[in-house]
Structure 1
Amino acid sequence: MSKQARPWVLGSAGIVFALILWWIFTHSATGNTMITAFAPENIPSAFAALFSRGVLLSDIGVSLWRLLAGLLIAGVIGIPLGLAIGFWRGVDQFSAPLVQFLRMVSPLSWAPIAVALFGVGSSPVIFLVAMAAVWPITLNTVSGVRALDRQHLQVAQTLGATPFETLRTVVVPSIKPYVLSGIRLALGIAWVIIVPAEMLGVSSGLGYEILNARDRLAYDEMLAVILVIGALGMVLDWVAQKVLR
């Protein structure tokens, strides 16, 4: 087996193994209709029901839009904040207690405040996504600034570079790997947060669809949406790796 094919073969074997365990679990609980509703053979009909109602693709689009909007806000806030903390010790000392406090608070803890401030709809969801994503971006930017070779800055200043030119030609290329790693980490965290966030009074999105399926006792549809969330998360992480490189 070639080195290129080995990861694909082993990954496929892992998926098959998980499917077998899934089938055994759902068929070993004889008489428990709730568990048997999660059986693998029910998933195709569940997907068919979701597509027939025309909700799945629209929910995916809404969730992805909220995710990207929250990430954009987190980047706009987190990168400048990370630059300021990394370059100026006074800013670091001034903001350290607040940053440490805020990043240790679960983003979902802000849910009641988000609903009170923004009402129901997409705005509180985007707010919670931004709250979850801003700290990985900020802290990775700080790490990039602190890893910067100060001699490069001195050379730029000696050559008469303006602050903007120094930022563009020295700082940004040097910290870019750190920032991109922070964005990828933030993407994973935000995708985990967006599902429970979409259970807060919204009428669209994958999180809402899970809640809706549960209320209708359509457990097979609920599991189908969970599978979509997991698959989309994998695709998003793969795309992030390719794009951020």
Structure 2
Amino acid sequence: MTSTIQLTKSASWIKLPLPLLGLAIASLIWWLWTTPLWHSDPTLADFSPERTFAALVLLFSKGTIIPHILTSLRRVFVGLTVAIAIGVPLGILVGVSRPLEETTSALFQFIRMISPLSWMPVAVMVLGIGDLPVYFLLSIAAVWPLVLNASAGVLAVNQRWLLLSQSLCATRWETLTQIIIPAIIPHLLTGVRLAIGIIWLVLVPAEMLGVSAGLGYYILDTRDRLSYSELVAVILIIGLIGYALDSVLRFAYQQWTHRN
């Protein structure tokens, strides 16, 4: 028994640095690709880890990137809020109403398969240039995971619970608020996590619609200034923030499922 516990502990210690090992290997490949030891192109040196991390420190020390990060996070929050306000109620309605599900299934699947970026010209023509078309693109990208996960959660509710609510003469509102919504929260958290991932992918090209701030705008700005080390630094920032957002939602999902 003691040897089994020791083997388990040793295995956990072996697994612990594996993510760091993956990052180290990726960094080594990155350095080998950009080091002057293997090529004579001076442009590739601007993409090197040394210059990238120097630019990263400079961006935060001067505070240059902070307003753009806050602007992008605000757009993500607004887009996600609009998507939740539309997608969750719509998904619940589709889940509880079989005729509505059959009526909207083909339509929703058709619209869902259209790339959100395909709506960019329409969004600019209808809503103009600024934050509104960005909000529209983020919302339409995020709404479908929420609709599908909410409806799937309703369909997965234990039928015994619904029969119990009927036997207790519960109203539809009581059944919805006391049984259905608490039961589908894991599905909703999964939908929000998927929605955040899609929003974060769509955000950068959406912020190239003539706005004057945001991470997507700043990438264009660094490209125009030929500041390639800053460009790669901003790409790293986008990846880190996206990873952090996904980690928070993954943690919330684990906490909810373990509590229940």
TM-score of Structure 1 vs Structure 2, range by shorter chain: over 0.9
Aligned mates of 1:168, 1:6 — CA distance in 2 = 46
Structure 2 residue ranges without an equivalent (≥5) = 1-8, 256-260
What is the one-letter code of the residue matched to 1:23? W
Taking only aligned residues, the RMSD between alpha carbons, in angstroms, comes to: 1.6
What is the one-letter code of the residue matched to 2:123? A
Instruction: State whether residues 29 and 36 of structure 1, in contact with CA within 8 Å, keep that contact through their aligned partners in structure 2.
Output: no
Query: Who is 1:21 aligned against?
Result: 29
12, 18, 33: which one pairs with 2:20?
A: 12
Query: Who is 1:206 aligned against?
Result: 215
Instruction: State whether residues 46 and 52 of structure 2, in contact with CA within 8 Å, keep that contact through their aligned partners in structure 1.
Output: no
Instruction: State whether residues 122 and 202 of structure 1, in contact with CA within 8 Å, keep that contact through their aligned partners in structure 2.
Output: yes
- 1:174 Cα deviation (Å)? 1.3
Aligned mates of 1:94, 1:164 — CA distance in 2 = 23
Query: Who is 2:95 aligned against?
Result: 86
- 1:51 Cα deviation (Å)? 3.8
Farther off after superposition, 226-235 or 54-63: 54-63
Aligned mates of 1:219, 1:163 — CA distance in 2 = 58
94, 103, 106: which one pairs with 1:97?
A: 106
User: What TM-score, normalized by structure 1, do the two folds share?
Assistant: 0.94
198, 202, 226: which one pairs with 1:189?
A: 198
Q: How many matched pairs?
A: 245
Query: Who is 1:231 aligned against?
Result: 240
- 1:126 Cα deviation (Å)? 1.3
Query: Who is 1:126 aligned against?
Result: 135
User: What TM-score, normalized by structure 2, do the two folds share?
Assistant: 0.89
Structure 1 segments of 4 or more deviating over 6 A?
A: none
Aligned mates of 2:31, 2:120 — CA distance in 1 = 37
Structure 1 residue ranges without an equivalent (≥5) = none
Partner of 1:199: helix, strand, or coil?
Answer: coil
- 1:90 Cα deviation (Å)? 1.4
- 1:243 Cα deviation (Å)? 2.8
Task: Tell me whether 1:64 sits opposite 2:59 in the alignment.
Answer: no
What is the one-letter code of the residue matched to 2:188? V
Percent identity reads 44
Instruction: State whether residues 136 and 183 of structure 1, in contact with CA within 8 Å, keep that contact through their aligned partners in structure 2.
Output: yes
Deviations 1:198-229 (A, max 9, x none): 11111111111111000110000000000000
